[in-house]
Protein backbone atom coordinates (compact mmCIF):
# COMPACT_ATOMS: atom_id res chain seq x y z
CA UNK A 1 0.00 0.00 0.00
CA UNK A 2 1.34 3.46 -0.88
CA UNK A 3 1.92 6.11 1.78
CA UNK A 4 -1.19 8.10 0.88
CA UNK A 5 -3.47 5.05 1.17
CA UNK A 6 -1.79 4.16 4.45
CA UNK A 7 -2.40 7.68 5.76
CA UNK A 8 -6.06 7.61 4.76
CA UNK A 9 -6.46 4.23 6.45
CA UNK A 10 -4.70 5.47 9.59
CA UNK A 11 -6.94 8.54 9.76
CA UNK A 12 -10.01 6.32 9.47
CA UNK A 13 -8.73 4.01 12.18
CA UNK A 14 -7.28 6.50 14.70
CA UNK A 15 -8.83 9.91 14.29
CA UNK A 16 -12.10 9.01 15.96
CA UNK A 17 -10.21 8.95 19.26
CA UNK A 18 -7.84 11.84 18.60
CA UNK A 19 -9.97 14.33 16.64
CA UNK A 20 -7.10 15.95 14.78
CA UNK A 21 -8.83 16.26 11.40
CA UNK A 22 -11.70 18.59 10.47
CA UNK A 23 -11.76 17.48 6.82
CA UNK A 24 -10.30 14.48 5.01
CA UNK A 25 -9.82 14.72 1.24
CA UNK A 26 -9.46 11.17 -0.14
CA UNK A 27 -10.57 11.92 -3.70
CA UNK A 28 -8.23 14.86 -4.07
CA UNK A 29 -5.35 12.96 -2.45
CA UNK A 30 -5.70 9.79 -4.52
CA UNK A 31 -5.94 11.81 -7.74
CA UNK A 32 -2.91 13.92 -6.82
CA UNK A 33 -0.86 10.89 -5.85
CA UNK A 34 -1.02 9.54 -9.41
CA UNK A 35 0.95 12.47 -10.79
CA UNK A 36 3.14 13.25 -7.77
CA UNK A 37 6.84 13.77 -8.50
CA UNK A 38 9.73 15.43 -6.71
CA UNK A 39 11.76 15.22 -3.51
CA UNK A 40 8.62 14.73 -1.41
CA UNK A 41 7.00 12.29 -3.85
CA UNK A 42 3.97 10.58 -2.34
CA UNK A 43 4.45 11.95 1.18
CA UNK A 44 1.02 12.64 2.69
CA UNK A 45 0.56 15.86 4.65
CA UNK A 46 -2.22 17.87 6.27
CA UNK A 47 -2.66 21.53 7.18
CA UNK A 48 -4.10 23.50 10.09
CA UNK A 49 -7.48 24.69 8.94
CA UNK A 50 -6.40 28.32 8.72
CA UNK A 51 -4.64 27.53 5.41
CA UNK A 52 -6.67 28.10 2.25
CA UNK A 53 -7.54 24.82 0.57
CA UNK A 54 -9.28 25.13 -2.78
CA UNK A 55 -12.97 24.32 -2.45
CA UNK A 56 -13.12 24.60 1.36
CA UNK A 57 -14.04 27.54 3.57
CA UNK A 58 -11.01 28.55 5.63
CA UNK A 59 -12.40 27.85 9.09
CA UNK A 60 -9.52 28.97 11.32
CA UNK A 61 -11.19 26.86 13.99
CA UNK A 62 -14.32 29.00 14.00
CA UNK A 63 -18.03 28.66 13.41
CA UNK A 64 -18.23 32.16 11.94
CA UNK A 65 -15.90 31.36 9.03
CA UNK A 66 -18.19 28.57 7.82
CA UNK A 67 -20.02 31.43 6.12
CA UNK A 68 -16.98 32.38 4.05
CA UNK A 69 -17.00 31.32 0.40
CA UNK A 70 -14.77 28.34 -0.43
CA UNK A 71 -11.15 29.27 -1.16
CA UNK A 72 -10.51 29.75 -4.86
CA UNK A 73 -6.98 28.31 -4.66
CA UNK A 74 -4.62 26.56 -2.29
CA UNK A 75 -2.26 28.61 -0.14
CA UNK A 76 1.18 29.04 -1.75
CA UNK A 77 2.84 26.79 0.86
CA UNK A 78 0.48 23.93 -0.06
CA UNK A 79 1.22 24.58 -3.73
CA UNK A 80 4.97 24.43 -3.06
CA UNK A 81 4.73 21.16 -1.12
CA UNK A 82 2.55 19.58 -3.79
CA UNK A 83 4.86 20.83 -6.55
CA UNK A 84 7.57 18.80 -4.79
CA UNK A 85 5.38 15.67 -4.79
CA UNK A 86 3.73 15.82 -1.35
CA UNK A 87 0.01 15.02 -1.24
CA UNK A 88 -2.53 16.95 0.84
CA UNK A 89 -4.89 14.56 2.66
CA UNK A 90 -6.85 16.88 4.95
CA UNK A 91 -7.26 19.86 7.23
CA UNK A 92 -6.64 19.97 10.97
CA UNK A 93 -8.24 21.19 14.17
CA UNK A 94 -7.00 24.24 16.08
CA UNK A 95 -7.98 26.75 18.75
CA UNK A 96 -10.50 29.21 17.36
CA UNK A 97 -8.69 31.94 15.44
CA UNK A 98 -5.43 30.50 16.86
CA UNK A 99 -6.08 32.20 20.22
CA UNK A 100 -5.10 29.39 22.58
CA UNK A 101 -2.50 26.83 23.53
CA UNK A 102 -4.66 23.74 24.01
CA UNK A 103 -6.94 23.03 20.99
CA UNK A 104 -9.94 22.65 23.26
CA UNK A 105 -12.29 23.82 20.55
CA UNK A 106 -15.95 24.04 21.53
CA UNK A 107 -17.21 23.94 17.92
CA UNK A 108 -15.13 20.99 16.71
CA UNK A 109 -14.25 19.22 19.96
CA UNK A 110 -10.86 18.97 21.67
CA UNK A 111 -7.92 17.36 19.93
CA UNK A 112 -6.53 14.69 22.21
CA UNK A 113 -2.87 13.98 22.88
CA UNK A 114 -1.90 10.68 21.20
CA UNK A 115 0.39 9.88 24.16
CA UNK A 116 -2.53 10.08 26.61
CA UNK A 117 -6.03 10.79 25.36
CA UNK A 118 -7.03 12.53 28.60
CA UNK A 119 -4.52 15.30 27.93
CA UNK A 120 -4.47 18.22 25.51
CA UNK A 121 -2.39 18.13 22.34
CA UNK A 122 -1.30 21.74 22.84
CA UNK A 123 -2.23 24.54 20.55
CA UNK A 124 -3.12 26.36 18.67
CA UNK A 125 -1.82 23.94 15.99
CA UNK A 126 -2.88 20.95 18.10
CA UNK A 127 -4.37 19.00 15.21
CA UNK A 128 -1.11 19.33 13.27
CA UNK A 129 1.09 17.95 16.05
CA UNK A 130 -1.36 15.22 17.04
CA UNK A 131 -1.77 14.02 13.45
CA UNK A 132 2.00 13.58 13.14
CA UNK A 133 2.43 12.08 16.62
CA UNK A 134 -0.33 9.53 15.97
CA UNK A 135 1.35 8.44 12.75
CA UNK A 136 -1.59 9.54 10.60
CA UNK A 137 0.65 11.78 8.48
CA UNK A 138 4.43 12.30 8.70
CA UNK A 139 4.19 15.99 7.84
CA UNK A 140 1.83 18.85 8.69
CA UNK A 141 1.71 22.63 8.50
CA UNK A 142 0.76 24.97 11.31
CA UNK A 143 1.13 28.54 12.46
CA UNK A 144 2.96 30.10 15.39
CA UNK A 145 2.19 33.55 16.78
CA UNK A 146 3.18 33.06 20.41
CA UNK A 147 4.15 29.38 20.45
CA UNK A 148 1.47 27.61 18.44
CA UNK A 149 3.94 25.34 16.63
CA UNK A 150 6.35 24.86 19.52
CA UNK A 151 3.82 24.18 22.30
CA UNK A 152 2.02 21.33 20.47
CA UNK A 153 5.36 19.99 19.19
CA UNK A 154 6.53 19.81 22.79
CA UNK A 155 3.32 18.25 24.11
CA UNK A 156 3.10 15.66 21.32
CA UNK A 157 6.80 14.82 20.99
CA UNK A 158 7.30 15.75 17.33
CA UNK A 159 9.69 18.07 15.47
CA UNK A 160 8.44 21.57 14.72
CA UNK A 161 9.97 24.59 13.00
CA UNK A 162 9.00 28.21 13.48
CA UNK A 163 11.17 29.97 10.91
CA UNK A 164 12.36 33.57 11.10
CA UNK A 165 9.51 36.08 10.96
CA UNK A 166 8.88 36.80 7.29
CA UNK A 167 10.76 33.76 5.96
CA UNK A 168 7.68 31.91 4.67
CA UNK A 169 4.84 33.68 2.93
CA UNK A 170 1.59 33.97 4.86
CA UNK A 171 -0.49 34.46 1.74
CA UNK A 172 -3.50 32.20 1.73
CA UNK A 173 -3.72 31.85 5.50
CA UNK A 174 -6.18 33.36 7.97
CA UNK A 175 -4.39 35.88 10.22
CA UNK A 176 -4.33 36.13 14.00
CA UNK A 177 -1.79 38.86 14.90
CA UNK A 178 -0.19 40.53 11.91
CA UNK A 179 2.89 41.64 13.83
CA UNK A 180 3.68 38.15 15.10
CA UNK A 181 2.24 35.45 12.82
CA UNK A 182 4.57 32.81 11.36
CA UNK A 183 3.84 29.61 9.38
CA UNK A 184 5.91 26.44 9.55
CA UNK A 185 6.08 22.64 9.39
CA UNK A 186 5.80 19.72 11.84
CA UNK A 187 7.42 16.39 10.96
CA UNK A 188 8.21 12.97 12.38
CA UNK A 189 11.93 13.40 11.58
CA UNK A 190 14.52 16.15 11.20
CA UNK A 191 15.15 15.03 7.61
CA UNK A 192 11.52 15.54 6.62
CA UNK A 193 11.33 18.82 8.55
CA UNK A 194 14.33 20.06 6.56
CA UNK A 195 13.14 18.74 3.20
CA UNK A 196 9.69 20.28 3.57
CA UNK A 197 11.13 23.60 4.75
CA UNK A 198 13.51 23.67 1.79
CA UNK A 199 10.74 23.34 -0.76
CA UNK A 200 8.77 26.16 0.91
CA UNK A 201 11.59 28.66 1.44
CA UNK A 202 13.89 30.53 -0.90
CA UNK A 203 17.03 30.89 1.26
CA UNK A 204 19.98 28.59 1.94
CA UNK A 205 19.06 24.89 1.78
CA UNK A 206 19.20 23.06 5.10
CA UNK A 207 18.66 19.47 3.94
CA UNK A 208 21.75 17.39 4.62
CA UNK A 209 23.37 19.95 6.90
CA UNK A 210 25.10 18.30 9.83
CA UNK A 211 27.86 18.78 12.36
CA UNK A 212 27.99 21.28 15.19
CA UNK A 213 31.72 21.99 15.02
CA UNK A 214 32.36 25.68 15.56
CA UNK A 215 28.86 26.44 16.80
CA UNK A 216 28.73 28.27 20.11
CA UNK A 217 25.80 26.64 21.91
CA UNK A 218 24.47 27.89 25.23
CA UNK A 219 21.70 26.88 27.60
CA UNK A 220 19.26 29.57 28.72
CA UNK A 221 19.04 30.07 32.49
CA UNK A 222 17.20 32.77 34.47
CA UNK A 223 13.64 33.27 33.19
CA UNK A 224 13.72 30.01 31.21
CA UNK A 225 14.83 27.97 34.21
CA UNK A 226 12.53 29.70 36.70
CA UNK A 227 9.48 29.17 34.50
CA UNK A 228 9.98 25.45 33.84
CA UNK A 229 9.36 22.55 36.17
CA UNK A 230 12.69 21.08 37.41
CA UNK A 231 12.12 17.76 35.57
CA UNK A 232 11.56 19.61 32.29
CA UNK A 233 14.62 21.79 32.73
CA UNK A 234 16.71 18.75 33.62
CA UNK A 235 15.94 17.24 30.20
CA UNK A 236 17.18 20.43 28.54
CA UNK A 237 20.35 20.25 30.62
CA UNK A 238 20.91 16.67 29.50
CA UNK A 239 20.40 17.59 25.86
CA UNK A 240 22.86 20.47 26.27
CA UNK A 241 25.41 18.07 27.78
CA UNK A 242 24.94 15.69 24.84
CA UNK A 243 25.81 18.59 22.56
CA UNK A 244 28.82 19.51 24.70
CA UNK A 245 27.27 22.90 25.48
CA UNK A 246 28.79 24.14 28.73
CA UNK A 247 28.03 27.83 28.30
CA UNK A 248 24.90 29.38 29.82
CA UNK A 249 23.16 32.65 28.98
CA UNK A 250 20.48 34.70 30.69
CA UNK A 251 18.25 36.19 28.01
CA UNK A 252 17.73 39.73 29.31
CA UNK A 253 14.23 41.15 29.76
CA UNK A 254 12.54 37.94 28.56
CA UNK A 255 9.60 38.64 30.86
CA UNK A 256 9.13 42.10 29.38
CA UNK A 257 9.41 40.64 25.88
CA UNK A 258 6.69 38.18 26.72
CA UNK A 259 4.56 40.97 28.17
CA UNK A 260 4.94 43.00 24.97
CA UNK A 261 3.81 39.98 22.91
CA UNK A 262 0.80 39.55 25.21
CA UNK A 263 -0.33 43.16 24.79
CA UNK A 264 0.25 43.21 21.01
CA UNK A 265 -1.68 39.94 20.67
CA UNK A 266 -4.62 41.20 22.70
CA UNK A 267 -4.87 44.45 20.79
CA UNK A 268 -4.38 43.24 17.22
CA UNK A 269 -6.60 40.16 17.56
CA UNK A 270 -9.36 42.13 19.29
CA UNK A 271 -9.26 44.79 16.60
CA UNK A 272 -9.24 42.17 13.80
CA UNK A 273 -12.44 40.59 15.06
CA UNK A 274 -14.20 43.75 16.20
CA UNK A 275 -16.77 43.74 13.34
CA UNK A 276 -17.96 40.25 14.29
CA UNK A 277 -17.72 40.99 18.03
CA UNK A 278 -20.27 43.73 17.35
CA UNK A 279 -22.52 41.65 15.08
CA UNK A 280 -22.45 38.06 16.32
CA UNK A 281 -20.63 37.67 19.66
CA UNK A 282 -22.55 34.50 20.49
CA UNK A 283 -20.98 32.66 17.55
CA UNK A 284 -17.43 32.95 18.95
CA UNK A 285 -15.65 30.30 20.98
CA UNK A 286 -16.87 30.92 24.54
CA UNK A 287 -13.33 30.57 25.90
CA UNK A 288 -11.99 33.50 23.86
CA UNK A 289 -14.81 35.91 23.17
CA UNK A 290 -14.38 37.99 26.33
CA UNK A 291 -10.60 38.04 25.82
CA UNK A 292 -11.11 39.40 22.29
CA UNK A 293 -13.58 42.02 23.56
CA UNK A 294 -11.13 43.16 26.22
CA UNK A 295 -8.29 43.32 23.69
CA UNK A 296 -10.38 45.45 21.35
CA UNK A 297 -10.70 48.12 24.02
CA UNK A 298 -7.16 48.55 25.34
CA UNK A 299 -5.59 52.00 24.98
CA UNK A 300 -3.45 52.70 21.94
CA UNK A 301 -0.67 53.94 24.25
CA UNK A 302 -0.22 50.43 25.68
CA UNK A 303 -0.10 48.88 22.23
CA UNK A 304 2.40 51.40 20.86
CA UNK A 305 4.59 51.10 23.95
CA UNK A 306 4.57 47.30 23.51
CA UNK A 307 5.67 47.65 19.88
CA UNK A 308 8.52 49.96 20.93
CA UNK A 309 9.52 47.61 23.77
CA UNK A 310 9.68 44.83 21.22
CA UNK A 311 12.34 46.76 19.31
CA UNK A 312 14.21 47.58 22.56
CA UNK A 313 14.13 43.93 23.61
CA UNK A 314 15.26 42.79 20.13
CA UNK A 315 18.36 44.96 20.44
CA UNK A 316 19.20 43.45 23.84
CA UNK A 317 18.89 39.89 22.56
CA UNK A 318 20.89 40.61 19.40
CA UNK A 319 23.85 41.51 21.64
CA UNK A 320 23.73 37.94 22.99
CA UNK A 321 24.24 36.57 19.51
CA UNK A 322 27.65 38.27 19.40
CA UNK A 323 28.84 35.58 21.84
CA UNK A 324 26.62 32.58 21.04
CA UNK A 325 25.12 31.06 17.88
CA UNK A 326 22.42 28.85 19.37
CA UNK A 327 20.43 29.03 22.60
CA UNK A 328 18.70 26.00 24.12
CA UNK A 329 15.60 26.51 26.24
CA UNK A 330 12.61 24.48 27.35
CA UNK A 331 9.59 24.87 25.08
CA UNK A 332 6.86 24.44 27.67
CA UNK A 333 6.90 24.84 31.45
CA UNK A 334 5.39 21.39 31.91
CA UNK A 335 4.10 18.45 29.89
CA UNK A 336 0.53 18.60 28.57
CA UNK A 337 -2.20 19.29 31.10
CA UNK A 338 -5.47 17.39 31.17
CA UNK A 339 -8.34 18.45 28.94
CA UNK A 340 -10.46 20.92 30.91
CA UNK A 341 -7.72 21.65 33.45
CA UNK A 342 -7.90 25.32 34.46
CA UNK A 343 -4.71 25.77 36.48
CA UNK A 344 -1.25 24.26 36.88
CA UNK A 345 1.81 24.88 38.99
CA UNK A 346 5.32 25.86 37.99
CA UNK A 347 7.87 25.38 40.76
CA UNK A 348 5.07 25.58 43.30
CA UNK A 349 3.41 28.70 41.87
CA UNK A 350 -0.20 28.09 40.84
CA UNK A 351 -1.37 29.88 37.70
CA UNK A 352 -3.97 29.73 34.94
CA UNK A 353 -2.95 26.95 32.56
CA UNK A 354 -4.21 28.23 29.21
CA UNK A 355 -2.61 31.71 29.05
CA UNK A 356 0.63 30.58 30.73
CA UNK A 357 1.46 27.59 28.55
CA UNK A 358 3.31 29.99 26.24
CA UNK A 359 5.50 31.56 28.93
CA UNK A 360 8.66 30.17 27.35
CA UNK A 361 7.77 30.52 23.69
CA UNK A 362 6.42 34.08 23.62
CA UNK A 363 9.75 35.81 24.42
CA UNK A 364 11.31 34.12 21.37
CA UNK A 365 8.61 34.63 18.73
CA UNK A 366 8.01 38.19 19.89
CA UNK A 367 11.21 39.15 18.05
CA UNK A 368 10.90 36.66 15.21
CA UNK A 369 13.86 34.39 15.95
CA UNK A 370 14.00 31.00 14.16
CA UNK A 371 13.36 28.02 16.43
CA UNK A 372 13.19 24.26 16.08
CA UNK A 373 11.30 22.44 18.79
CA UNK A 374 13.01 19.10 19.41
CA UNK A 375 11.59 16.22 21.48
CA UNK A 376 13.98 15.65 24.39
CA UNK A 377 12.24 13.14 26.65
CA UNK A 378 9.21 12.50 28.80
CA UNK A 379 7.96 13.69 32.17
CA UNK A 380 5.21 11.62 33.81
CA UNK A 381 4.88 9.64 30.59
CA UNK A 382 4.25 12.70 28.42
CA UNK A 383 6.72 14.27 25.99
CA UNK A 384 8.39 17.64 26.39
CA UNK A 385 10.38 19.62 23.86
CA UNK A 386 13.35 21.94 23.76
CA UNK A 387 13.64 25.15 21.75
CA UNK A 388 16.75 25.41 19.58
CA UNK A 389 16.94 29.16 18.97
CA UNK A 390 19.22 31.00 16.54
CA UNK A 391 19.75 34.54 15.30
CA UNK A 392 17.38 35.82 12.60
CA UNK A 393 17.73 34.03 9.24
CA UNK A 394 20.03 31.34 10.72
CA UNK A 395 17.71 28.36 10.46
CA UNK A 396 20.82 26.47 9.31
CA UNK A 397 22.20 26.70 12.85
CA UNK A 398 18.95 25.30 14.28
CA UNK A 399 19.05 22.38 11.84
CA UNK A 400 22.68 21.49 12.56
CA UNK A 401 21.90 21.23 16.26
CA UNK A 402 18.64 19.38 15.67
CA UNK A 403 20.38 16.77 13.54
CA UNK A 404 23.00 16.23 16.26
CA UNK A 405 20.18 15.42 18.69
CA UNK A 406 18.12 13.24 16.34
CA UNK B 1 -6.85 49.25 37.77
CA UNK B 2 -9.57 49.59 35.16
CA UNK B 3 -12.91 49.27 36.92
CA UNK B 4 -16.47 48.50 35.91
CA UNK B 5 -17.18 52.23 35.83
CA UNK B 6 -14.59 52.65 33.04
CA UNK B 7 -16.19 50.11 30.73
CA UNK B 8 -18.99 52.24 29.23
CA UNK B 9 -16.46 54.77 27.92
CA UNK B 10 -14.20 52.10 26.49
CA UNK B 11 -17.13 50.33 24.85
CA UNK B 12 -18.41 53.57 23.36
CA UNK B 13 -14.97 54.42 21.97
CA UNK B 14 -14.94 51.24 19.84
CA UNK B 15 -18.72 51.05 19.29
CA UNK B 16 -19.00 47.69 21.05
CA UNK B 17 -22.07 46.65 23.01
CA UNK B 18 -21.43 43.91 25.57
CA UNK B 19 -24.16 41.83 27.17
CA UNK B 20 -24.41 42.38 30.92
CA UNK B 21 -23.65 38.71 31.63
CA UNK B 22 -20.27 39.04 29.91
CA UNK B 23 -19.18 42.18 31.76
CA UNK B 24 -17.40 40.43 34.69
CA UNK B 25 -15.35 38.22 32.36
CA UNK B 26 -14.48 41.09 30.02
CA UNK B 27 -13.42 43.20 33.00
CA UNK B 28 -11.30 40.36 34.39
CA UNK B 29 -9.58 40.02 31.01
CA UNK B 30 -8.98 43.75 30.78
CA UNK B 31 -7.48 43.78 34.25
CA UNK B 32 -5.23 40.83 33.35
CA UNK B 33 -4.01 42.66 30.25
CA UNK B 34 -3.50 45.82 32.31
CA UNK B 35 -1.41 43.89 34.82
CA UNK B 36 0.79 42.46 32.06
CA UNK B 37 0.96 45.85 30.32
CA UNK B 38 2.44 47.39 33.46
CA UNK B 39 5.62 45.38 32.83
CA UNK B 40 5.80 47.03 29.42
CA UNK B 41 4.65 50.52 30.37
CA UNK B 42 7.22 50.96 33.13
CA UNK B 43 10.17 50.55 30.74
CA UNK B 44 11.80 53.88 29.98
CA UNK B 45 12.49 54.06 26.28
CA UNK B 46 14.74 56.36 24.32
CA UNK B 47 13.44 58.24 21.28
CA UNK B 48 15.45 55.92 19.04
CA UNK B 49 13.47 52.95 20.33
CA UNK B 50 11.05 53.28 17.46
CA UNK B 51 8.16 50.95 16.69
CA UNK B 52 9.10 47.44 15.72
CA UNK B 53 8.51 47.00 12.01
CA UNK B 54 5.21 45.50 11.01
CA UNK B 55 4.81 42.68 8.53
CA UNK B 56 5.83 43.41 4.99
CA UNK B 57 4.91 40.76 2.45
Q: What is the ipTM of this complex?
A: 0.95
The CA angle A312-A142-A88, to the nearest 5 degrees, is 150
Residue B27 counted as domain residue: yes
What does the alpha-carbon distance between residue A38 and residue A133 come to, in Å, rounded to a whole number?
Answer: 25
pLDDT tens digit sequence for A58-97: 999 999 999 999 999 999 999 999 999 999 999 999 999 9
At residue B57, the pLDDT reads 39
User: d(Cα B50, Cα B32) in Å, to the nearest integer?
Assistant: 26
Instruction: Give the nearest partner residue to B37 out of A169, A302, A310, using CB atoms.
Output: A302
Closest chain B residue to A306 measured between Cα atoms?
Answer: B40
Kindly state whether residue B49 falls inside one of the protein's structural domains. Answer: no
Question: Annotated catalytic, A237?
Answer: no
In a domain, B47, yes or no: no
**CA angle, residues A213, A325, A158, in degrees to nearest 5:** 85
Provide the pLDDT for residue B51.
Answer: 83
| Centroid of chain to Cα A286 | 23
Domain for residue B54, yes or no? no
- How confident is the model over A206-225, as a mean pLDDT? 97
CB of A349 closer than 8 Å to CB of A284: no
Domain that holds residue B24: 4-41
**What's the structural domain count of chain B?**
1
What is the Cα–Cα distance from A200 to A203, expressed in whole angstroms? 10
pTM > 0.80: yes or no: yes
CB contact under 8 A, A294 and B33: yes
For residue B52, pLDDT over 80 is answered with: no
With H, G, I as helix, E, B as strand and everything else as coil, classify residue B6.
helix
pLDDT tens for each residue of A262-314: 999 999 999 999 999 999 999 999 989 999 999 999 999 999 999 999 999 99
Q: What are phi and psi of A161, to 5 degrees?
A: -125, 125
Expressed in angstroms, the distance from the first to the final Cα of chain A is: 28
pLDDT at B54: 59
The predicted structure's pLDDT at residue A175 = 97
B10 within some domain: yes
Give the 3-state secondary structure of chain A. Answer: CCHHHHHHHHHHHHHHHHCCEEEECHHHHHHHHHHCCCCCCCCEEEEECCECCECCCCCCCCCHHHHCCCECCCCHHHHHHHHCCCEEEEEECCCHHHCCCCCEECCCEECEECCEEEEECCCCCHHHHHHHHCCCCCEEEEEECCCCCHHHHHHHCCEEEECCCCCCCCCCECCCCCCCCEEEEEECCHHHHHHHHHHHCCCCCCCCCCCCCCCCEEEECCHHHHCCCHHHHHHHHHHHHHCCCCEEECCCCHHHHHHHHHHHHHHHHHHHCHHHHHHCHHHCCCCCHHHHHHHHCCCHHHHHHHHHHHHHHHHHHHHHCCCCCEEEEECCCCCCCECCCCEEEECCEEEEHHHHCCCCCHHHHCCCCCEEEEEEEEECCEEEEEEEEECCCCHHHHHHHHHHHC
Say if strands A44-48 and A139-144 run parallel, antiparallel, or are unpaired: parallel
For residues B22 and B25, what is the distance between their CA atoms, to the nearest angstrom? 6
Q: Which of A178, A281, A307 sits opposite B51 (nearest CB)?
A: A307
**Chain B closest-CA separation from residue A3 CA (Å):** 35
Q: How confident is the model at residue B48 (pLDDT cuts 50, 70, 90)?
A: confident
Percent of chain A with pLDDT over 90: 99
Q: What's the pLDDT score for residue A342?
A: 96
B53 min Cα distance to partner chain A (Å): 8
Cα–Cα distance between A328 and A320 in angstroms, integer? 13
Query: Cβ of A293 and B36 within 8 Å?
Result: no
Q: CA–CA separation, A120 vs A216, rounded Å?
A: 35
Q: How confident is the model at residue A373 (pLDDT cuts 50, 70, 90)?
A: very high
Question: Which residue out of A166, A257, A269, A294 would a mutagenesis test of the B interface target, given it has the greatest number of B Cβ atoms within 10 Å?
Answer: A294
CA distance A300 to A310: 15
Q: Is there a domain that residue B21 lies in?
A: yes
Among residues A390, A332, A404, the alpha carbon closest in space to that of A163 is found at A390
In this complex, do A179 and B55 lie within 8 Å of one another by their Cβ atoms?
Answer: yes
DSSP label at B53? P
Of B32, B33, B51, the CB nearest to A304: B51
- The pLDDT confidence band at residue B53, using thresholds 50, 70 and 90, is low
A215 shares contact with chain B (CB less than 8 Å)? no
**Cα A147–Cα A364–Cα A182 angle in degrees, nearest 5:** 55
> Are A405 and A374 contacting, i.e. CB atoms less than 8 angstroms apart?
yes
Q: How far apart are CA A20 and CA A134, in angstroms?
A: 9
Output b/e per residue, A241-256; b: 16+ Cβ within 10 A. Answer: eebebeebbebebbbb
Q: How far apart are the first and last CA of chain B?
A: 38
Give the nearest chain A residue to B8 (CA atoms).
A297
- Domain contains B37: yes
* Domains observed in chain A: 3-200 (3.90.1300.10), 217-370+384-392 (3.90.1300.10)
Within a domain: B34:
yes
Contacts of B12 (CB under 8 A, 6+ apart): none
CA dihedral A391, A395, A400, A406 (to 10 degrees): 120
pLDDT digit string, tens, across residues B6-15: 999 999 999 9
pLDDT of amino acid B55: 47
Cis amide linkage into residue A124, ω under 30° from 0: yes
Amino acid sequence: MAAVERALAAIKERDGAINAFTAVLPERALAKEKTAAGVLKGIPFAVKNLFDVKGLSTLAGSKINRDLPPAARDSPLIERLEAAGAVLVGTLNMDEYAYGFSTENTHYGPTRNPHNLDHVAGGSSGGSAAAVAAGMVPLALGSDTNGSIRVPSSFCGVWGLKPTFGRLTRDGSFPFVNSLDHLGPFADSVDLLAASYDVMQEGMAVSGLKGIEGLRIARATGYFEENAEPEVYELVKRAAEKLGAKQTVDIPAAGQGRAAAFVITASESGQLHLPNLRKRPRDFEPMIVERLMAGAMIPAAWYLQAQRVRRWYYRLVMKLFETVDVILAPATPRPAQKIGQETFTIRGREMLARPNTGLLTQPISCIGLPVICAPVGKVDGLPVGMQIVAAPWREDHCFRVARALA
Amino acid sequence: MIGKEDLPGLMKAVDLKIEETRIPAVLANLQRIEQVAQAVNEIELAPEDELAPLWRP
